[in-house]
Amino acid sequence: MSPNEWLAISMVIGFFAMMMAGVPVAISLAVSGFVAGMIGFGPMLFALLPARMFGVVSNYTLLAIPLFTFMGVMLEKSRVAEDMLETIGRAMGGLNGGMGLAIILVGVLLGASTGIVGATVVTIGLLTLPTLLRRGYNKSVACGTICASGTLGQVIPPSLVLILLADILGQSVGSIFAAAFIPSLVLALIYVTYMLILGWLRPDWVPAIPAEERALTSRKQLFKDMARSVLPPLLLVMAVLGSIIGGVAAPTEAASMGALGALLIAACARRLSRPTLKATLHGTLTISAMIFLILLCSQPFSLAFRGLGGEALVHEMFTMLPGGQVGAILFLMAVLFVLGFFLEWIEISYIALPMFLPVFIAYDTDLVWLGILVALNLQMSFLTPPFGWALFFLKGVAPPGVTTRDIYIGALPYVFLQMLAVAVVFCFPQLATWLPAAIGW
C-alpha cells in the first residue's frame, strides 16, 4: 500500500478513537478529515470543499428534513400521539398480548407520522410501561416491545433515515419511500406474529385486559375515540406518503403540507398553544441542526478519504471477498451491524456507506434495494448494546423496578426478528423493488 492509503486508514482509526474519547461526532469527522488531508496533500485537496458544502446546504430535497421533523414533534408535543396510543390500547386489550399488539400498531402509526425514535420510545414508555407491569406483563417483554416498536419509524416512510439514504445513494426520495413501504410492513407483521405466538405459548407473560375493565368503555364510545384520535393522523400520513409515492408532490412540498396538517390536527384537538408551538420549534431546530452539522462536517472527511486513495483501497478489499456481489452485500451488512453497537445511524450512513458505494455501483447493484437493506440494518443499531439509543431512552423513563438488564434482555428477541426481516428482503428483493417499478419510479 502507498503512504497515502496508510494515511487514509489512520484517518478512519483516528476518527473512531476520537469518538470513543467522547469528542462529538461532527468535530471528530471534520478534524480527522482536515488533519489527514493536510498531511497528505496540503491545502489544495480542499479546493473543492466550499462547492461540496454549498451543495449540501442548497440541496432542495434536504429541506424536507426540518419539515418532517416539525410534523413529528408537533404531533408528539401536542399529545395527539398519547390519545392515539390510549385508544388503540383499549381496542385491542381483550387478546393475550393485546396491549403488546397495540404498542406495535401505534409504533407503526407514530413511525409514519413522527419518525423520531426518541420521542416515540419515551411517549410509549411513559404511557404504557407502568400499565403493562401493573397488568402482569413480563418486564423484559414489555420493555423489548416498547423499544422495538419505537424504532419502526426508522424504516417506515417518511423517515429521516430514508431521506438521507436517498441523498447518499443518489436515488429519488419517492423511489426509496415506495421501496420501504412493503418491507416496513413485513417487519411490523413479524413483530405481530411474535407477539401472537408469545400470547399463545406464554399467556402469563402477556395477559389480556380483564373483561370488567373493558366493559367500562362502550363500543360506540370506542368508535368515537378512534375517529377522533386515530383517524386524523392516519389520514395525514396517507396524504403525505400518497402524494410523494404517487408523484403528485415533491418530498419537500409534501413535507410542508404535513407540517401544516400537524398544526391543524393540534388546533382541532385544542392542543395548539404558545408553549406547545415553542417546544415544537425548539425540538425541530435541535434535531435539524444536529443532522445538518454532521452532514457538513462529513464533507472534509469524505473528500480526504477519496483523495488519499481510500476509495480504491476499499474497492480492492471487496474484490478479495468470495461470492461477488452477494459476498459484498453480506460483508456490508456485517460491517453495519458491528458499527451499530458503537455509532448512531447518521454517522454510519455518512462514513461507511460512501466508502462502499462505488463497489456496488461497479457491480450494478439495485441501489434502491440496497438502501432498504441498509435502512433495516441501521434500525438494529437502536437496540444493540452498549449504545442502543432506544434502550437508553426507555431506561430514562422506566419505573424504578425496571433494570437495565430487563431492557437489554427484552430487546434481544427483536434484534433477531430484525435480522430475520433483513434476510427476508435480501432473499426476496421484489419486496423492495416491486412497488417503485409498479408506479413508475
Quick: pLDDT tens for 134-143.
778 899 999 9
More confident position, 361 or 424? 424
Q: What is the dihedral of CA 358, 363, 368, 374, to 10 degrees?
A: -70
pLDDT of residue 318: 66
∠ CA 412-196-181, nearest 5°, is 75
pLDDT of residue 433: 92
> In terms of C-beta density within 10 A (0-12 exposed, 13-18 middle, 19 or more buried), how is residue 412 classed?
middle
Specify the range with the lowest mean pLDDT, choosing from 17-26, 35-44, 366-375, 399-408: 17-26
Sequence-distant (≥ 6) Cβ neighbours of residue 434 within 8 angstroms? 182
> In terms of C-beta density within 10 A (0-12 exposed, 13-18 middle, 19 or more buried), how is residue 58 classed?
exposed
Q: Is residue 383 predicted with pLDDT exceeding 80?
A: yes
Are 329 and 370 in contact by the 8 Å Cβ rule? The answer is: yes
More confident position, 144 or 66? 144
Mean pLDDT of the chain: 82
Q: Is residue 430 predicted with pLDDT exceeding 90?
A: yes
Which domain covers residue 53, as residue numbers? 3-438
pLDDT of residue 258: 84
pLDDT of residue 81: 67
pLDDT digits (tens, 9 = 90+) for 112-170: 765 666 667 776 777 778 878 877 889 999 999 998 988 887 888 877 788 888 888 88
Highest mean pLDDT, choosing among 149-163, 233-247, 297-311: 149-163
pLDDT digits (tens, 9 = 90+) for 310-330: 766 766 766 676 777 888 899
Q: Which three cell numbers stand for residue 332?
A: 456490508
The band of 108, judged by pLDDT with boundaries at 50, 70 and 90, is confident
pLDDT of residue 295: 76
Q: Can you state the percent helix, strand and coil of the chain, rounding each to 5?
A: 80, 0, 20
First to last CA, the chain: 42
State the total domains in the chain.
1
